[in-house]
Structure 1
Amino acid sequence: MKLLILTQKMDVNDPILGFFVRWVEEFAKHCENVIVICLEKGEYDLPSNVKVLSLGKEEGGPYYIKTLRYIVRFYKYIWSERRNYDSVFVHMNQIYVILGGLFWRMLGKRISLWYTHKSVTFSLRIAEKFVHTILTASEKSFRLKSKKKIVTGHGIDIELFKPDSSIEKENIVLTVGRISEAKNNIKMLTVLKNNPALKLVVVGSSVTEKDKVYKERFLKEIKDKHLEDRIELIENVPQSALPEYYNRARVFINLSDTGSLDKVVLEALAMNVPVYTTNEAF
């Protein structure tokens, strides 16, 4: 198989999207060659049969210049590389399907979309018409009714996420992921109320402007409740460093209401860390 992958970012050090570099490594083992078109690229070390092409977000510039650059490069890449792929895999961002779907269909390329979120947008409905297959982690991770849906579950790297009994457990309640309203970080503060020996460790950062506003609310709640000495916020942790935090934690908490099967819960379970979650996907 010759595969074209479209994703947001290729950077092993990215705390949110760094895991995708490992996905590409695995794809490369089963494909003759892999072409990756990403919005932004950073650091990665991939096999020789992988080619990474960036739309150029890392180059910066005014919004309208960046947008024009993205569109021009997108069509340039999918056209110039058309003989080097026979299948297309789009990760999460359905706008790529809308932009390239008709072209790929005309050339006989098979299109798959990976999507794990409870929202059903107009753009997702359009993208569903173009793709051949929709891959998702659970029944509730893709809520648009479609015969194209295939539930695969999440793939967890159990060579990376494996418990280390030599590391002593601490009185830590751990959560990993974005600081955002969808993750309900403020509600997590209640676990400290009647448990003075516990400490909450939050590994994650805020990505969108909306997330950043929520983070300010979160910090204010911490200050108002006088919990500064019982909470540790850690940002910019690459995936390769996460096992250290799981190994130290006594329990993992996940209050996400995204409705999708959150892979950090599965990572915690792989590390033998007890999990408390209110996520309906579980």
Structure 2
Amino acid sequence: MRLLIFNQKTDLTDSGLGVAIDWITAFSRCVEKVYVITHEAGVVPTLPSVKILSIGKEKGYGRIQRFLEFYRLLLSTLSRNQIDGCFVHMVPIFAVLASPILKWKHIPMVQWYAHKETPWSLRVAHRLVNRIVTASKESFRLPSQKVVVTGHGIDTDRFIPPKQLNKLNKPFTILSVGRISPIKRYEILLKAVALVHKAGKECKVLLVGGTRTKRDEEYLQHLQMEVEQLKLGSYIQFVGPIPRHEVLYWYWKADIFVNLSDTDSVDKAVLEAMSCGLPSITSNISFQFMPRDVIQELLVPKGDVSALAKAIIRVSEWDPDYREQVCRRLRQIVIDQHDLNHFVHKVIQLFNCK
């Protein structure tokens, strides 16, 4: 099989969007050849069966030039190669633009989408593609019979637990990974940490991730002011963006992961943390698939600072054997429901069933 992939950004150094390279690599192990047309390219891997082509955002190309380059690369790839299927990673506008040509060539399209927003481009793409694949039923908000839930595609061979699951740091270390954005609601975590300290329990926070927009920058400044007001300067570390390959080591540095994103869909970073055997507190109701006893420990109401503080204290006081048992159960959930290899095989099967 020869697979064409449309992607937003292909860059090993991007801690968020770099996950696409995990997927591209996994697909390349299962098909004869992978051709990637990406909106933007940075540091890319050298894989013998993968060809990565950029439409030039990183070169400063304007919208019209990128539009023309997209069609040039698409037509060139199709004229020189027999393509059997097209996988669209987010960016539904690519599916819209390519649809007339791919339909003429009888090349099926599978669109990956996992976000609460439903822009016009997604609504149009939904009508044009053969299948929609998504992480969970909450991750795709349009009513559709085309949707196939595949899990999130987590590389459980890379995101593995440290040698000791039940050894805690001093002070107790909280981690959150992802873009610094208002949707992450980090101010709730900061206030909860202040309550934890008032209760006589010392802990620190590692916030891994960078900003992308002016609004994100303003939010980061707001968080820094909040840290000063709460007198938590010695306990909160804004790590900033990191290369994708370094994320694992930050998971290993932590005792607990906290995710308060207001998306109500399964968050990739939480699953990566779980795969690393890291207990993960969340207010995201989409994680109700976890065992009931685990939910009672780790799921907190949205915006409830006090409940979050109590959950942090509770997990910090877990018996070592109980902690290890929970951590291994969390990892197994990811392996069973969100493993990358299973995900790739499910997607390829959709092309085979065209």
Instruction: Report the TM-score range of the alignment, normalised by the length of the smaller protein.
Output: over 0.9
Aligned to 1:238: 243
Which amino acid is 2:8 matched to?
Answer: Q
Is 1:134 equivalent to 2:132 in the alignment? yes
Can you list the C-alpha shifts for 1:100-124, whole angstroms capped at 9, x where unaligned?
Answer: 1122112111001100001122221
Contact 1:3/1:35, CA 8 A, preserved across alignment: yes
Equivalent AA in structure 2 for residue 26 of structure 1: A
**Cα RMSD between the aligned structures?**
1.5
User: How far is 1:166 from its partner?
Assistant: 5.4
**Is residue 21 of structure 2 the alignment partner of residue 27 of structure 1?**
no
| Contact 1:117 1:259 (8 Å CA) reproduced | no
- Amino acid across the alignment from 2:155: D
State whether residues 169 and 248 of structure 1, in contact with CA within 8 Å, keep that contact through their aligned partners in structure 2.
no
Matched, 1:51 2:47: no
Alignment of 1:266-277 (within 5 A): 266-277=271-282
Task: State how far apart, in whole Å, the 2-side matches of 1:169 and 1:25 are.
Answer: 34
Q: Which runs of 4+ in 1 moved over 6 A?
A: none
What fraction of aligned residue pairs are identical, expressed as a percent? Answer: 37
Q: Is the 8 A contact 2:194 2:230 kept in 1?
A: no
Whether contact under 8 Å (1:169, 1:247) holds in the other structure is no
What displacement does 1:248 show?
2.0
Structure 2 runs not aligned, ≥5 long = 288-354
- Aligned partners of 1:25 and 1:46 also within 8 Å: no
After superposition, the C-alpha distances for 1:28-78 in whole angstroms (9 at most, x for unaligned) are 111111110111111122321211101111112xxxx51122101100111
Determine helix, strand or coil for the equivalent of 1:82: helix
State whether residues 172 and 200 of structure 1, in contact with CA within 8 Å, keep that contact through their aligned partners in structure 2.
Answer: yes
The one-letter code sitting in structure 2 at the alignment partner of 1:99 is L
Q: Aligned residue for 2:10?
A: 10
Of 196, 201, 204, 1:199 maps to 204
Q: Secondary structure at the match of 1:48?
A: coil
User: In the alignment, what sits opposite 1:150?
Assistant: 148
TM-superposition CA deviations, 1:164-219 (whole Å, max 9, x none): 22595321111010111111111111221222211011011111222222222222
Query: Is 2:168 aligned against 1:169?
Result: yes
The runs of 5 or more residues in structure 1 that have no matched partner are: none
C-alpha displacement at 1:86, in angstroms?
2.3
TM-score, length basis structure 2? 0.76
Which residue of structure 2 aligns with residue 94 of structure 1? 92
Q: Secondary structure of the equivalent of 2:14?
A: coil
What does the per-residue CA deviation read over 1:118-138, in whole Å, with 9 as the maximum and x for residues that have no partner? 112222111101100100000
Corresponding residue number in structure 2 for 1:79: 75
Contact kept, 8 Å, 1:115 with 1:134, in 2: the verdict is yes
| Alignment TM-score, normalising by the size of structure 1 | 0.94
**Structure of greater Rg:** 2
Any conservation in 2 of the 1:257–1:280 contact (CA below 8 Å)?
Answer: no
Q: For this pair of structures, how many residues does the alignment match?
A: 278
Asked whether the equivalents of residues 191 and 230 of structure 2 are also in contact (C-alpha less than 8 Å), the reply is no
Q: Which residue of 2 aligns with 1:187?
A: 188
**Greater helix share, structure number:** 2
Q: CA deviation at 1:5?
A: 0.5
